[in-house]
Chains A and B, each alone.
Chain A
Amino acid sequence: MITLEHDSLVFRFPEVHEHAKTEVNFQRTLRIPDNGKHYPLPPGLGSFSLKHLEDYADRIPANWRERGGVMMPLYQAEAMWLAFCGRHSRDAYPFALKIAAGKINAVSGKAWNTGLAASERDYVVVPEQPWLDGFCVAKDVVRQFVAMPLGSGYSVEEQITGKPEHGGLQIIACPMKKERYEEIARRRAQERQRAGSRRAYMCDATVGAPMRARAPAAQAMGLAAGGRMKQQIYADPYGIDAWEQTASSRCFVTLVDAVQWREITGEPPAARPPTAADYSNAGLPWFDYYAEAETLAGAPALTMVKSVAELAAEKGEQVLGPDGDVEPGNVVQIGAGTRGKPRPVSESRL
């Protein structure tokens, strides 16, 4: 079962184990420049607001209603990352998570399917994987998730399938088998290892969005490939037989153009986040997370995808604001085995 709690999707499987619970939260962040450099991890600047689609049934297109799930607002060219496990990651129950954008798997670049297969390596394992910032384009490199209007040709979905059909994000969660978890829990009780909790980082993300002309009816957004970031996608350390594949829950997250959010929900969207240049010039920290674990190589289909900047140059369009020269001078080491700080994220309850 999936519930929506404090702007997080909470997946529970009480029929598998009373502790079988994980969370997925969507974090606002800086858009990193797409200039060939590989950037460290940007911070979390607060959760995106999540709403049940069915609560606004009379203000959204019929195909959105049919999909169900939740929706969240992003501005064109705004970036995001997914945070896993929530605040209680210390003894988190392991899950296999598949993440797709426009029904293109963000790890493997292949078409969405709901099963887990060892050969495919198309899922992440939490809590080992604390977050996902983009499409896995090379070993230890992702291209940042950047929202673009579906139908504009920029999204990864449109580049791979040729059609602007789905947009949004798709998530499926599969818990670990009970017996395997209990074995791990016994070991953890001895090791008492902490997976790194999230702490509010107060960044004044109050840059005002420029006024735009009234937007047409509900604009769906897809995810395109932004700048390059250093991020490890960890291989499954438990093996395919560890997962209770008879129990899984899926969710469709519709991405809505933030300009239309007020029309649909009656609530204003959050202000645009700061630019990466402004953030760095203020001396605020970026993050470098490292863990000793096997990591996945880039997906062949995703390595061929063009970034927003590349496509915009080809089309002669100006869709991104100026990135500026960004040199992250303050990079904090975090991660398993270090005494560094955790990657800050703002939590909606704080």
Chain B
Amino acid sequence: MLGFGDYVRKAREALVETDLRFSLRQVAQRIDVEPAYLSKVERGLVPPPSEATIVRLAAELGEDADVLLAMAGKVSSDLQAIILRRPKQFAELIRQLKNAPNHAILKVVREVRDGNW
């Protein structure tokens, strides 16, 4: 499995093949970091950036922020807040679903109810 830096670099390089706005310099500018720093992140020379920067980077690259955060070893602060409100229940839920296939996990999520219309 790719590390965070490698994943980000490959995602960005795939985009720059068809759109020059995804050069390292331009992406760095748009997510408000120095190009040299982003280069180091991509090469794994520094730890992954902050949650806020990762969220901006995910949006730029069209990637899922939760996935990118997980690759950086982080959990978004909103998820943390949710878990901390009911830690016992969510811990139990997550442990029970640890080995469940994707479709089984999706069954647990809250669906939008369709009524009579």
Contacts and interface: CB of A to CB of B under 8 A. Distances in A.
Interface string A126-140: 000000000000000
Given A14-B106, A252-B117, A193 B112 contact: no
Contact of B112 (A68, A166, A198, A349): A68
A14 B21 CA distance: 34
Interface string A251-281: 1100000000000000000000000000000
A68 B115 contact: yes
Contacts of B56: 350
Nearest to A86: B62
Nearest to A90: B62
B15 interface: yes
Contacts, number: 89
B18 A193 contact: yes
Contacts of A219: none
Nearest to A194: B18
A70 B111 CA distance: 11
A160 B72 CA distance: 54
A170 B115 CA distance: 12
A121 interface: no
Interface string B95-117: 00000001100100111111111
B92 interface: no
A199 B60 contact: yes
A67 to B, nearest CB: 4
B38 interface: no
Interface in B25-79: 30, 55-56, 58-65
A10 to B, nearest CB: 9
A314 interface: no
Contacts of A200: 59
**Interface size range of chain A in the complex:** 35 or more
A74 interface: no
A66 B21 contact: no
B20 A339 contact: yes
Nearest to A54: B113
B59 A2 contact: no
Contacts of B114: 2, 68-69, 249-252
Interface residues of B, number: 30
Interface string B8-27: 00000011011111000000
B18 A192 contact: yes
Given A193-B18, A349-B55, A68 B113 contact: yes
Given A18-B102, A88-B62, A349-B65, A192 B115 contact: no
B115 A65 contact: yes
Given A69-B113, A350-B55, 19 more contacts: A3-B110, A14-B106, A15-B103, A18-B102, A52-B110, A65-B115, A68-B117, A69-B114, A87-B64, A88-B62, A88-B63, A89-B62, A170-B117, A194-B19, A197-B59, A197-B61, A252-B114, A252-B115, A349-B59
A296 interface: no
Contacts of B62: 87-90, 194, 197
Nearest to B11: A90
A67 B116 contact: yes
25 contacts: A1-B109, A1-B111, A2-B111, A3-B110, A4-B112, A14-B103, A14-B106, A15-B103, A52-B110, A66-B117, A68-B116, A69-B115, A87-B58, A90-B62, A170-B117, A192-B14, A197-B62, A199-B30, A199-B59, A200-B59, A249-B114, A251-B112, A251-B114, A252-B117, A349-B65
A152 B63 CA distance: 43
A110 interface: no
A21 B63 CA distance: 14
